[in-house]
Structure 1
């Protein structure tokens, strides 16, 4: 597997409230995380950094997971424990009250991907058949779209498009959405914060992902495009491609 994490403060924000990374456990399996913090007085930085750090620590101690069921259970427990830690931290520190973070996390093995998310940070999968968003935003505008009150085009420009209905660390319990999908050699996974998807539409994302450029270069071009279109928010993304070495059948990292 080849993967790259990129993040940018954007053109307007004074600091970056996004966090993330790609981490390996003792079996060489990968956990990719994007967290987009929220909260005043830079508390969003604290929430997103805590989410990434705590999940990384738990993952690096992991001895390896064999089945989708094991991965799904690990993600559920890890996110619930991380939620509790962030929420307790916010209660104990006045400057952190009300903080929280979105999170999208993907465990990548040679055979399957398990994705968990809370909030409106997204995961997409590109394969030979399509480029598809595989997470459903926990947001006000997505709820309005699903209920038929507004169209997807309307959602792009809705004045409350950044209102999330679920976040990590804002309460004593949160339930992530978790799903497992298969992937094959050459498939590409994209995880990103809404700083990207607010500025670059799905068909444009697909065009970049399908290009013949190296995936790190694709990521840089996407961030540049978001910034060219205003860059009002922090922009973060992870691109991971499943590749097997010719003649060996083993993943290349």
Structure 2
């Protein structure tokens, strides 16, 4: 049996930003005895539709994971088992969103992004769809662990756009994947080992678009408490954020 080696702390914060009068982001986090979960969702589909989609996404995803891991010796789980559970929870979210679209026709176009990380033992499994992101700060080096599911990100991956052109592209916000679109849904899922001292940031694009990587790196490494880190990120972004801004921080 693999022993539980690393401990974790979590905290998060969300804000409507400087321009919008409502918040379509939703966040949550759970610190259980053997595992920890961070979740961020960014709603799509108008004032009520986006907020409904993101809140349903987070509530359903967290409840599903809690049910799957309740009473289980998670320390014995393999990365493949955890990836299967996260995918199943995500598919459950997508089915619920499709049911709500059929039940409430005014929300027929609602959807949401999702980025979530589940830590257990010395592993972290990340699942995502859309342009909400996961970053890691390790030994003063910042890395983005997810790749945006956007039209321009696909162009960049094929070498058709450089970073400067990507940031200025008029279609840079067009998503190629978001929950609520189709069934079954294809998620991006990855697992990596964590190290003591790692800090992980799960955020909506409102935050990552507002704060440059150098600023994210400085704020993530500036204090050692996730609550203070999350508050600092939101404080740095909210005065000029044109979108909702959300951050959940997981520290080891």
Shorter-chain TM-score above 0.5: yes
Structure 2 unmatched ranges of 5 or more: 1-7
Counterpart selection for 1:240 from 223, 226, 250: 250
1:114 aligned counterpart, secondary structure: strand
Cα gap change, 1:41 to 1:195, in 2 (>3 Å): closer
Counterpart selection for 1:133 from 126, 144, 147: 144
1:190-242 C-alpha deviation (Å, 9 max, x unpaired): 100000111112222112212245332222222122223x2110000111111
Contact 1:124 1:132 in 2 (8 A): yes
> Does 2:231 align with 1:224?
no
1:210 aligned counterpart, secondary structure: helix
2:37 aligned counterpart, secondary structure: strand
For residues 75-154 of structure 1, the aligned pairs below 5 Å read: 75-128=86-139, 130-154=141-165
1:151, 1:216 → 2: CA distance?
35
1:186 aligned counterpart, secondary structure: coil
> Does 2:10 align with 1:3?
yes
Give the aligned partner of residue 5 of structure 2.
none
Structure 1 ranges of 4+ moved more than 4 A: none
2:166, 2:247 → 1: CA distance?
21
Give the aligned partner of residue 4 of structure 2.
none
1:126, 1:24 → 2: CA distance?
20
Cα gap change, 1:50 to 1:177, in 2 (>3 Å): same
Cα gap change, 1:221 to 1:171, in 2 (>3 Å): same
2:228, 2:189 → 1: CA distance?
29
Give the aligned partner of residue 210 of structure 1.
221
Per mean C-alpha deviation after superposition, the further-off stretch among 97-106 and 170-179 is: 170-179
Cα gap change, 1:181 to 1:220, in 2 (>3 Å): same
Give the aligned partner of residue 19 of structure 1.
26
2:222 aligned counterpart, secondary structure: coil
Let me know the Cα RMSD of the aligned residues. 1.5
1:89, 1:174 → 2: CA distance?
16
Contact 2:26 2:58 in 1 (8 A): yes
**TM-score normalized by structure 1?**
0.90
Contact 2:12 2:226 in 1 (8 A): no
Q: Aligned pairs, how many?
A: 240
Give the aligned partner of residue 63 of structure 2.
57
1:161-187 C-alpha deviation (Å, 9 max, x unpaired): 211110011222211000000011111
> Structure 1 residue 129: deviation in Å?
6.5
Contact 1:24 1:59 in 2 (8 A): no
